Chains A and B, each alone.
Chain A
Amino acid sequence: MKQFKQVTFRLNGKEVSCVVDVRSSLTDMLRNQFGLTSVKKGCEVGECGACTVLINKEAFNSCIYLAVWAEGKDILTLEGLMGPNGELSDIQQAFMEEAAVQCGFCTPGFILTAYEILEEPRDYTDDELRKLLSGHLCRCTGYENILRAVKKVLRQRLEAAKA
């Protein structure tokens, strides 16, 4: 028997509401009901990180998060990073400049975890950054340029904080 439930939450800064099958994952709700295609499906069991979204500013694998749990939450997907006039966030810009994008399938998830890390910039070592980003799998980049991009923005933000 299919059961449905109404869910109300904030999505990329806007109050939204919809009716979902209670068995749905947050991934499926965001993709199918809100058309947010940045939320990618790579394994659907929380292994690859491609479906990452921020829930109350914390990165989660949305594939193993039930849609109904979104009730009352503040959810940010990659689409929500773009400014009102179409401007990119610094971390998106850095991914472009540092050639951190290849096939692009892991990119949205990586950017959101990086965004979470960068919101509270600290003087992380490379090893600490690697560990913080290790919930995402990528087969194209060897992670090298992704690390470069994150470090670049981290430096920028730390310098901005000092100034």
Chain B
Amino acid sequence: MPNVGKSVTRVDAFDKVTGRAQYTDDRCPNSALVARVVHSTIAHGYVKSVDTSEAEKIPGVVRIFTCFDVPDIKFPTAGHPWSVEEAHQDVADRRMLNRHVRYYGDDIAAVVAEDEVAAAQAARAIKVEYDPLPFVLDPIEATKEGAPLLHKEYPNNILKHTSIRQGDYAAAIQEPGLICVDKWYETPTVQHCHIENFICYAYEENGRIVVISSTQIPHIVRRTVGQALGIPWGKVRIVKPYIGGGFGNKQDTLYEPLCAWLSMQVGGRTVKLDVPREDTFVSNRVRHAEKIHIISWVRPDGTYAARKLVMYSNQGAYASHGHSIVAKGMGAFPQMYPCPNVECDSYTVYTNRSVAGAMRGYGIPQAMFAFESHTEDVCRRLGCDSLAFRRKNLMPVGFVDPFSKNENYYDSYNQCLDKAIAYMDYERKRAEYANQTGPVRKGIGLAPFWYNTAVWPISLEHSSCRMVLNQDGSIQLQVGETEIGQGADTAYAQMAADTVGLADYTSVHVQSCQDTDITPFGLGAYASRQTYTCGFAIRQTGLLLKEKILAYASEMTRMPVYNLDLVDSNIVRVTDGRVMMPLADLAVESFYSLTHSVHITAESTYQIKSNAYSFGCCCAEVEVDIPLAKVKLTKIINVHDCGTLINPALAEAQVHGGMSMGIGFALSEQLLYDGKTGRALNNNLLDYKLSTFMDHPHLEAQFVENPEPTSAFGTKALGEPPTCPVAPAIRNAILNATGVEVDTLPMTPHTLYRRFCEEGLIQDPWRKEG
């Protein structure tokens, strides 16, 4: 396989380093009308009236629409495959503009104006009168009797509660001599912070509505726009140009339905809806904040007798991806450290906060922070080495999850740990840092993680591909999967070149711009699925195309098909290795032959009914300044077994980005809300601390390449996994340095100061308790 496995240059790199790559706003005509959304300034209540009279007087304002104008249709927004079973369909709980506002930032009205200034001025001039209601921001408070109710269909604000029961927990904890470790962990609300904000524009053409959108899920958005507007789905066309990052926020229907509807209200003229950064933080999606309670009953020999897990996931105001996020985290619990007696419960709870949706890792970063912090805490109570404990208790080779049928084929955990330990000199440092004194102390910690690829069998998995032979022997490649910056198009070109038998991946022209009128239906970029799922469709379709090419070659050469092959873009006779003709010559003949002219194309869908574990670990070293309650990350490595690497350089780059997001989650990122009003306090890139160039040491990324047996190219998930183990590894390093268990993220000076005071490391006579 000459292309797969090579660090070839991205197919879109040239256009991106020259500024030529077209993103949504780059395609929008200057003449477009501009829409601006008016947001709620209370956390919960009803809109009594909206006075637009002053706003309408502003020159340049075209129309203003309010929550009293939009169709009375509730629609789902999650970027999930639609379920044909009603019971499994995504929750439809919001309208395009809402009268019952459920968070500070909810969408109430929309201005359409001739330019941005007029739109912004009009948005500010709109006067809204409310009937305010009490609000609740905490997911546990929200489940209590008497808490403000967000959606009347969901008593106690519980969107969903699911459980896992294995063995007999109550009986198992009666075993004499058990040590009980009972702890809570908490993770914050964070935001994706892709550098391109969500943006879309819409216009009518030939009696249909066209939406150009910065989305990870164009084909799904086609359906949700149809649902939200109450129009046939075929009347909607979605186009996805290059997108400036998504990370899950754009795996959701955001403002596409509203923008489409606004265009339809102004005669199908082009309307652009460009979300300001401040609104992206509040009124798009965020990561679910979670409160996680773990009780472990451990034998003195370092084995688990019984374990209990309770998770509360803060959904915010609307369902979006809902319970699937915390459910994924919960599902990892009994698998990662198998134990015969387990009780798990997870609750997804509506609160009056920003809507939580998908974000890189999909519930696993939160779960890993709790699970792997807890593993370390259990080992401290036992007085045992946490690395040895992990090696003994982590999912063994041969483990099969009865639900997904996922099998752990390799000793990936130990192989990844070995590499991380060797790179960091972990064991020597661990011993060296054991008994430090003084204000500045060093520490080292690690955390493995659990992840699985794609969504089978919870949801549909399939992938479609179309290949077209060009007149020069190159091919056009169309798939339903979405390039969002991760490098998918390049990996697909490499896979397609090898499957068909082309010399070079540059002979594969990938249709990067998804257009629901052109590209085959696909589910989109999520669940770290695309290299795995699309690999099947590319391989199957490539083989079909190759079969057709060889059949034509057989006609041209009078040789039997079984004696021919397509190698390095040449038709080769396998019996003697003779090159019969270049593929380019065959292509010209096939198009222009006066006896047998045919356009050689292939198209197929592969339905994926498998799924693959993708494991690895992070190891981090820190320096903690105790009086300043400040952490400096000094060294870090992630090691992944994502199977065979299609493009090692791009894989490494994916890991860097995931690690960076994990570092922010660990040390600095948090969207803060004012308890008195429910308003977000730091919804801008200055006050919200995502990692900058100066917040990282060198990011080391290494791999273990065990080919995944279920996969078309031996590959499996890598997009999201790098974010998953970073926060607990850093947390465990801080514990190693200071002896202090920090159970709340982010581990900012605010968090550490409180903990260091509680543990007596800082004596502060002015500190108020609590």
For window 126-141 of A, CB contacts with B under 8 Å fall at 127, 130-131, 133-134, 136-141
User: Which of B13, B16, B195, B659 interacts with A142 by CB under 8 Å?
Assistant: B659
Contacts of A108 in B (CB 8 A): 19
Interface residue? A23 (CB, 8 A): yes
User: Which of A96, A130, A137 interacts with B690 by CB under 8 Å?
Assistant: A137
Would A140 and B485 be within 8 Å (CB), given that A101-B13, A105-B196, A105-B244 are in contact? Answer: yes
**20 A-B interface contacts by CB (under 8 A):** A38-B20, A40-B244, A45-B684, A47-B684, A79-B18, A99-B7, A99-B653, A101-B10, A102-B486, A102-B657, A127-B694, A134-B693, A134-B694, A136-B693, A137-B692, A139-B195, A139-B657, A139-B660, A141-B657, A142-B656
Nearest CB of B to A113, in Å? 10
Distance of A52 Cα from B350 Cα, bound (Å): 41
Contacts of B558 in A (CB 8 A): none
Nearest CB of B to A18, in Å? 13
Report yes or no: B245 in contact with A140, Cβ–Cβ below 8 A. Answer: yes
Sorted from nearest, which 10 A-B pairs have the closest CB atoms? A38-B19, A103-B485, A105-B244, A142-B660, A104-B16, A142-B656, A47-B685, A37-B26, A78-B19, A144-B656
Report yes or no: A96 in contact with B243, Cβ–Cβ below 8 A. Answer: no
Interface residue? B417 (CB, 8 A): no
Contacts of A103 in B (CB 8 A): 194-196, 242-245, 484-485
* B660-688 to A contact mask, C-beta < 8 Å, 1/0: 11000000000000000000000011100
User: Which of A23, A81, A142 interacts with B699 by CB under 8 Å?
Assistant: A142
User: Which of A44, A107, A136, A145 interacts with B16 by CB under 8 Å?
Assistant: A107
Interface residue? A143 (CB, 8 A): yes
Taking A41-B197, A102-B657 as known contacts, 8 extra A-B pairs with beta carbons closer than 8 A to each other, sorted by chain A number, are A37-B19, A43-B685, A105-B245, A107-B16, A137-B193, A139-B660, A140-B485, A143-B693
Interface residue? A3 (CB, 8 A): no
Interface residue? A97 (CB, 8 A): yes
Would A130 and B652 be within 8 Å (CB), given that A82-B18, A95-B13, A137-B193 are in contact? Answer: no
Contacts of B694 in A (CB 8 A): 127, 130-131, 134
Report yes or no: A42 in contact with B693, Cβ–Cβ below 8 A. Answer: no
Distance of A44 Cα from B199 Cα, bound (Å): 14
Distance of A158 Cα from B244 Cα, bound (Å): 33
Interface residue? A19 (CB, 8 A): no
For window 188-204 of B, CB contacts with A under 8 Å fall at 192-197
Q: For residue A33, which residue of chain B has the nearest CB?
A: B30
Nearest CB of B to A69, in Å? 18
Interface residue? B1 (CB, 8 A): no
Contacts of B660 in A (CB 8 A): 139, 141-143
Q: For residue B30, which residue of chain A has the nearest CB?
A: A32
User: Which of B247, B276, B685 interacts with A48 by CB under 8 Å?
Assistant: B685
Interface residue? B170 (CB, 8 A): no
Nearest CB of A to B243, in Å? 7
For window 179-194 of B, CB contacts with A under 8 Å fall at 192-194
* A29-40 to B contact mask, C-beta < 8 Å, 1/0: 001100011111
Distance of A81 Cα from B485 Cα, bound (Å): 23
Interface residue? A62 (CB, 8 A): no
Interface residue? B23 (CB, 8 A): yes
Contacts of B484 in A (CB 8 A): 103
Distance of A48 Cα from B244 Cα, bound (Å): 13
Distance of A111 Cα from B691 Cα, bound (Å): 19
User: Which of A81, A105, A141 interacts with B23 by CB under 8 Å?
Assistant: A105
Contacts of B244 in A (CB 8 A): 40, 42, 103-105
* A66-93 to B contact mask, C-beta < 8 Å, 1/0: 0000000000011101100000100011
Interface residue? A11 (CB, 8 A): no
Interface residue? B235 (CB, 8 A): no
Interface residue? A26 (CB, 8 A): no
Would A105 and B19 be within 8 Å (CB), given that A47-B684, A130-B694, A134-B692 are in contact? Answer: no
Report yes or no: B17 in contact with A139, Cβ–Cβ below 8 A. Answer: no
For window 208-248 of B, CB contacts with A under 8 Å fall at 242-245, 247
Interface size on A, residues (CB 8 A): 55
Report yes or no: A141 in contact with B653, Cβ–Cβ below 8 A. Answer: yes
Nearest CB of A to B189, in Å? 17
Distance of A78 Cα from B13 Cα, bound (Å): 14
Q: For residue A106, which residue of chain B has the nearest CB?
A: B195
Distance of A67 Cα from B25 Cα, bound (Å): 19
Interface residue? A50 (CB, 8 A): yes
Report yes or no: B30 in contact with A42, Cβ–Cβ below 8 A. Answer: no
Would A141 and B243 be within 8 Å (CB), given that A23-B117, A48-B195, A103-B485 are in contact? Answer: no
Distance of A146 Cα from B653 Cα, bound (Å): 10
Distance of A99 Cα from B648 Cα, bound (Å): 10
Report yes or no: B19 in contact with A36, Cβ–Cβ below 8 A. Answer: yes
Report yes or no: B277 in contact with A104, Cβ–Cβ below 8 A. Answer: no
Contacts of A142 in B (CB 8 A): 656-660, 691, 696, 699
- A-side residues, CB < 8 A to B, are 23, 31-32, 36-45, 47-48, 50, 77-79, 81-82, 88, 92-93, 95-97, 99-108, 111, 127, 130-131, 133-134, 136-147
Q: For residue A96, which residue of chain B has the nearest CB?
A: B13
Distance of A136 Cα from B195 Cα, bound (Å): 10
Report yes or no: B13 in contact with A137, Cβ–Cβ below 8 A. Answer: no
Interface residue? B22 (CB, 8 A): yes
Would A133 and B693 be within 8 Å (CB), given that A43-B685, A96-B9, A99-B649 are in contact? Answer: yes
For window 1-37 of B, CB contacts with A under 8 Å fall at 7, 9-10, 12-23, 25-26, 30
Would A92 and B17 be within 8 Å (CB), given that A41-B25, A99-B10 are in contact? Answer: yes
Contacts of B22 in A (CB 8 A): 37
Report yes or no: B18 in contact with A139, Cβ–Cβ below 8 A. Answer: no
Distance of A23 Cα from B115 Cα, bound (Å): 12
Nearest CB of B to A63, in Å? 11
User: Which of B19, B654, B685 interacts with A79 by CB under 8 Å?
Assistant: B19
Contacts of A78 in B (CB 8 A): 17-19
Distance of A136 Cα from B691 Cα, bound (Å): 11
Report yes or no: A102 in contact with B195, Cβ–Cβ below 8 A. Answer: no
Distance of A63 Cα from B9 Cα, bound (Å): 31
Contacts of A44 in B (CB 8 A): 276-277
- Which residue among A88, A95, A137 has the maximum number of chain B CB atoms within 10 Å of its CB? A137
- Which residue among A36, A50, A97, A140 has the maximum number of chain B CB atoms within 10 Å of its CB? A140
Contacts of A133 in B (CB 8 A): 693
Distance of A96 Cα from B245 Cα, bound (Å): 18
Interface residue? B698 (CB, 8 A): yes
Distance of A130 Cα from B653 Cα, bound (Å): 18
Would A42 and B9 be within 8 Å (CB), given that A108-B19, A139-B247 are in contact? Answer: no
Distance of A55 Cα from B676 Cα, bound (Å): 45
Q: For residue B27, which residue of chain A has the nearest CB?
A: A37
Interface residue? B734 (CB, 8 A): no
Nearest CB of A to B245, in Å? 4
Report yes or no: B277 in contact with A77, Cβ–Cβ below 8 A. Answer: no
For window 260-277 of B, CB contacts with A under 8 Å fall at 274, 276-277
Would A42 and B18 be within 8 Å (CB), given that A96-B13, A99-B650, A102-B657 are in contact? Answer: no
Contacts of B21 in A (CB 8 A): 104
Report yes or no: A138 in contact with B195, Cβ–Cβ below 8 A. Answer: yes
Interface residue? B139 (CB, 8 A): no
Report yes or no: B245 in contact with A139, Cβ–Cβ below 8 A. Answer: yes
Distance of A105 Cα from B345 Cα, bound (Å): 41
Nearest CB of B to A138, in Å? 7
Nearest CB of B to A107, in Å? 5
Q: For residue B117, which residue of chain A has the nearest CB?
A: A23
Q: For residue A79, which residue of chain B has the nearest CB?
A: B19
Distance of A128 Cα from B173 Cα, bound (Å): 56
Distance of A96 Cα from B247 Cα, bound (Å): 22
Contacts of B699 in A (CB 8 A): 142, 144
